[in-house]
Amino acid sequence: MVDEKTVAETVQYVVIQIGSEQYGIDIKYVDNIVRVQRATRVPKVPEYIRGVINLRGEVIPIMNVRLKMNLDDVEDTKNTRIIIVKLEQQGMVGLIVDEVKEVLTVSLEDVDKVSYEKDEKSHFLSGIAKYDNRLISILDLNAVVSEEKDPAKEK
Amino acid sequence: MDVSQYLEVFLDEAREHLQNLNTQIMDLEQDPENMDTINEIFRAAHSFKGMAGTMGYKRMQTLTHDMENVFMKVRDGSLKVQPNMIDILFQCLDALEKYVNNIQETSDEGTEENEDIIKLLNNCLKQEGASAPEASAAPAEEKSAEEAPAAEAASADNGNTDPTQNWRAIKLDDSQQDVLKEAKDQGKNVFGLTIKIQEACILKAARAFLVFKALEELGEILVSNPSAQDIEDEKFEFSFSLIVITESKLEDVIAACKSVSEIETVEGGEADLSNAAAAADTAEAEAPKEEAKEEEKTTAPAPAASTAVTPTGTTAPAPAAGGAKKPAVSKPIVNRTVRVDIEKLDVLMNLVSELIIAKNSLVAASSSEGENNAAFNEQIEYLESTTTSLHESVMKVRMVPIESVVQKFPRMVRDLAKKLDKPMELYMTGEETELDRTVVDEIGDPLMHLIRNAADHGLESAEVRKERGKPATGSIFLDAYQDGNNVVIEVRDDGNGIDVEAVKNKAIERGTITEEQAATMTDKEIIQLLFLPSFSTAKKITDVSGRGVGLDVVKSKIESLSGEVEVKSKLGEGSTWIIRLPLTLAIIQTLMVVVGGEKYAISLGSITTIEDINPNEIKYVQSKEVIHIRGQVIPLIRLNEILDIESTKGPDDNLIVAIVKKGDKLAGLVVDELLGQQEIVIKSLGKFINKSKIISGATILGDGEVALILDANALI
């Protein structure tokens, strides 16, 4: 047990760009990253769900993270990607992000829990990772994907 | 002996035997004199005992043994079937079922001795024991003698107890006799052997094979009775006879046989050539008689017997034939089956789904290609028909008749009748109706609930029934039939029906609805209240039903199987519960339609017709759009409105309307365009957006695009 602590545990994050900010997604949830494809609209679902796509024979719902975060929607560009994440409860869900930057390996020690600043955006965060001189917000996928309305918005 | 590997087989067979016994004893209650039923019960009890013994379940063995004893007496006529005996027998079966359940859970039979039941059984025996002391001594032999009088005649020559089971009865043809003579001349020994395998043995054929193998090391097996092939196929009771030519001594030969485990006795002796020859003579003399008998036998309900008759050649199919026939007669011909793990079938089904998607892509690719290649198209069409039949046969493999579920109900109703002290009868039709295995496994409990409900709440007591001019015995009907892509199961009773007023008062009392609400509700809506959790109208709670769990569970269970429940009831005349279940769960035939530029699939099973409607024909009833076709008023549902999308059609264009049906309700779905029929694989939308009821799933089209499946039932 003592040994384990001395070995620095690391986490890998897929760094994505949404709007002006960069976010990290724990790589263990990421199943796949695909280019944007035409989605089939599903009626009677919240606006942030763009629809469903066919990923190798499976039907997967995709959501527009921008809309979920109350940001303005933008046109897809050649950099726009869908990150397919696999969650225990909801199964596979695709997240539309502006750009996928890189994969970073961060020591667990450099990841801090968010305990301050409970504003609109931090609702979706589970922590902040320090890497060189950068700060990367770690997305709380369950909060992003959950169907609940943004609590900050309801206030 | 390690029997754990047989545990699964044992449990399966034990359940089959139990079910069989249940059914037979029910029959026996109706017709206590029926010898066929009695024999069948005896056989089932006997094999049950054997199985339990082999597996080392002593208590189970004791109980079945006593049951068997009772039936032995019943069979030879020294004991009459009494109504109280039937009750005891059912208690027996319940106790056995408990053992089986225990074994399934803990692989141990438990410690319940069921002494009282055994005592009761023995009391049954004592009742008649004095009057017929030894009559039960040899019923088995008697029976076989009845079945094969010719064989008995032959046995007189040999003066032996059971002709078919002794080597002395083996008849030799000319060539075999020559071989035998030659062997004798060479100074070799010729022995006849009769080997009896323990009755508890599970793999008789394997034991017999080991005996053959042991003997072949010592010498040559000239002939066996039954034939080697029949022995391999287990077409023999517990003993078989052989003639071997060997240089070893008799003791060695017998010892070799006994070295095989689970062999009970080995009897042997020098085969006397003259005796064999004499026997052969008799056989030849009897041959015409045998042939005549054989012709009779071919009309008997055991065609397999004729194939089992040709062991020793043409001249002497004499008593040997009788011996081979006996097991064939006692066992009804059973379909050849293979038990397959349902998971393997699921994998197969998924692969078929993939194949169908790939096929759909090919079809899409071939139609989009500009130049028309006739040969290519032909092959595509061929592929299409093959995949469709492949899918159908895989579906059929998964289909099982609902019989396995419903056959326990007659017994249940009988017990209910006693418990509730209401005479009632269950009539079932359509037990052979088939459903997907997964559905059949789940449907048992809801049906049981409904039948219990009918028995407890539905049917009136005998006195009330008489007052109302109904027959004292109440009737419950269970009818199953296929209706298009659905299977319908109806549970109907001729009892009191649902008292809508009572339900309404109860609902108000419970605060489920207010009085104002109640006043505006239709009878149908009030009956629907019954499906709410914790709603029971029984005035007193019985242990049969009325604990408030029931109908809501039934409803949610059926809905989880993508089915639905409906009630029709008439006060004083009875009620009908209608369960509608989809035939298949994974792949369906659909009509592809376009609404506002988007493709949707509608199950073909729910579509009755497609109509072309002029906008002028639309009428308004309560400010809702309806159309009037062939004497029916059908409400219109504009899909583009429901799906929140702009229709591509102008207001003056003719409407394309797909008329869909749910039960006896109709509705017209207005679509923009029809694409045609397509076989699709249903994919779940996932839990994430499993919100909208009108979308029952999605499918992947030939071009890789996703199309949603509209649930017409939810729209109506």
Local confidence band at B534 (pLDDT 50, 70, 90 cut-offs): low
pLDDT in tens, B598-639: 999 998 878 899 999 998 889 998 889 999 988 889 999 999
Q: For B664-710, what is the HEC assignment?
A: CEEEEEEECEEEEEEEEECECCCHHHCCCCCEEEEEECCCCCEEEEE
Please indicate whether, in this complex, the C-beta atoms of A52 and B357 are within 8 angstroms of each other. Answer: no
Give the CA distances from residue B472 to residues B73, B421, B496, B577, in Å, rounded to whole numbers and listed in that order. 35, 12, 13, 22
Asked if A126 and A111 touch (Cβ cutoff 8 Å), the reply is no
Give the model confidence (pLDDT) of B124-152 as tens digits: 777 654 443 443 433 444 444 444 444 44
Residue B280, pLDDT > 80, answer no
Judge: B598–A145 Cβ closer than 8 Å, yes or no.
no
Distance (Å, rounded) from C-alpha A9 to C-alpha A26? 14
Q: Residue A83: what pLDDT?
A: 94
Average pLDDT over residues B391-418: 84
DSSP A40: B
Largest pairwise CA distance in chain B: 109
User: What is chain B's percent helix, strand, coil content, to nearest 5?
Assistant: 50, 20, 30
CB contact under 8 A, B685 and A42: yes
pLDDT above 80 (res A2): no
Catalytic residue among B102, B225, B360, B453: B453
Per-residue pLDDT tens for B515-526? 887 788 888 788
pLDDT at B610 (0 to 100): 93
CA atoms in the 13 A half-sphere facing the CB of B106:
8
pLDDT bracket for residue B192 (50, 70, 90): confident
Of the candidates B354, B644, B683, the beta carbon closest to that of A59 is on B683
Structure token pair of residue B599: 């493709």
- Per-residue pLDDT at B482: 83
pLDDT at B548 over 60: no
- Say which of A57, A59, A89 has its CB closest to residue B685: A59
Q: Mean pLDDT lowest for which of B192-201, B222-231, B539-548, B583-592?
A: B539-548
**Whether B453 is catalytic:** yes
| Mean pLDDT to the nearest integer, A86-109 | 88
pLDDT class of A121 with cuts at 50, 70, 90? low
Whether the predicted pLDDT of A92 surpasses 80: yes
- Report pLDDT for B4: 64
Tell me which of B608 and B326 has the higher pLDDT: B608
Query: What pairs with residue A10 in β-bridges?
Result: A107
* Residue B336: predicted pLDDT: 64
CATH of domain A2-141: 2.40.50.180
Alpha helices in B399-499 (DSSP H): 403-406, 409-420, 437-453, 462-467
Quote the pLDDT of residue B119.
79
pLDDT band at B479 (very low <50, low <70, confident <90, very high): very high
Query: Closest partner residue to B687 among A44, A52, A90, by Cβ?
Result: A90
Q: What is the rounded CA–CA span in Å between residue A123 and residue B467?
A: 71
The answer to which of B36-50, B208-222, B425-439, B664-678 has the lowest mean pLDDT is: B208-222
**Interface contact B687-A44, CB threshold 8 A:** no
CB atoms A42 and B645 under 8 Å: no
So what's the pLDDT on residue A8? 65
How far is B689 from A61, CA to CA, in rounded Å?
Answer: 7
To the nearest whole Å, the CA of B513 is away from the closest chain A CA by 29
Per the CB < 8 A criterion, the answer to whether A84 and A92 are in contact is: yes
> In terms of CA atoms, which chain A residue is nearest residue B596?
A41
ipTM: 0.80
What pLDDT, in 10s, does the model give residues B241-257? 878 887 777 777 777 77
Q: Does B36 touch chain A (CB under 8 A)?
A: no
Q: What pLDDT, on a 0 to 100 scale, did the predictor assign at position A90?
A: 78
**Averaged pLDDT for residues B348-372:** 77
Query: Which residue from B48, B40, B49 is spatially nearest to B12, judged by alpha carbons?
Result: B48
Catalytic status, residue B68: yes
CB neighbour list of residue B393: distance below 8 Å, 6 or more residues apart: none
pLDDT at B420 over 80: yes
To the nearest whole Å, the CA of A1 is away from the closest chain B CA by: 39
Q: What is the rounded distance in angstroms from the CA atom of residue A71 to the CA atom of residue B209?
A: 79
Nearest to B700 among A42, A49, A57 (CB): A57
Q: Are residues B698 and A38, on separate chains, in Cβ contact within 8 Å?
A: no
Q: Distance between CA atoms of B703 and B706, rounded to whole angstroms?
A: 9
Strand partners, B219: B246
Q: What is the mean pLDDT of residues B335-355?
A: 78
| Contacts with B643 from chain A: Cβ below 8 Å | 43
Across the range B43-57, mean pLDDT stands at 80
Q: Compare B686 and B621 and report the one with higher pLDDT.
A: B621
Q: What is the reported pTM?
A: 0.48
The minimum CA-CA distance between B361 and chain A, rounded to whole Å, is 12
Query: Which of B508, B492, B491 has the alpha carbon at shortest distance from B500?
Result: B508
A-B C-beta contacts closer than 8 Å: 71
Domain boundaries, chain A: 2-141
Chain A residue with the nearest C-alpha to that of B687: A90
Distance from CA of B637 to the nearest CA of A (A): 16
Between A73-82, B130-139, B499-508, the lowest mean confidence (pLDDT) is in B130-139
What is the side-by-side order of every strand in the sheet holding B189-197? B219-225, B239-246, B189-197, B263-270
Residues 340-369 of B with CB under 8 A from A: 354, 357
pLDDT of residue B308: 39
Closest residue by Cα to residue A54 from B588, B591, B701: B701
**Residues in A touching B642 (Cβ below 8 Å):** 43
Chain B: residue whose CA lies nearest to A142: B688
Burial class (CB in 10 A: 0-12, 13-18, 19+), B336: exposed
Q: Does B691 touch chain A (CB under 8 A)?
A: yes
Question: Is there a contact between A90 and B643 if contact means CB atoms under 8 Å apart?
Answer: no
Work out the mean pLDDT of chain B and round it to a whole number. 75
Shortest Cα distance, chain A CAs vs residue B606, angstroms:
21
Burial class from Cβ neighbours inside 10 Å (0-12, 13-18, 19+) for residue B274 reads exposed
Work out the minimum CA distance from B363 to partner chain A, whole angstroms: 17
* Cβ distance of A40 and B694 shorter than 8 Å: no
Task: Tell me the range of A108-122, B183-197, B649-663 where mean pLDDT is highest.
Answer: B649-663
Test B687 with A52 for CB contact under 8 angstroms: no
**pLDDT reading at B322 higher than 50:** no
**What are the residue ranges of helices labelled H in chain A?**
2-6, 65-68, 141-145, 151-154
Tell which residue, B637, B499, B475, has the closest CA to residue B569. Answer: B499
Determine the Cα–Cα distance for residues B424 and B408; give it in Å rounded to an integer.
16
How does residue B93 score in pLDDT terms, banded at 50, 70 and 90?
Answer: confident
pLDDT-derived band at B85, boundaries 50, 70, 90: confident
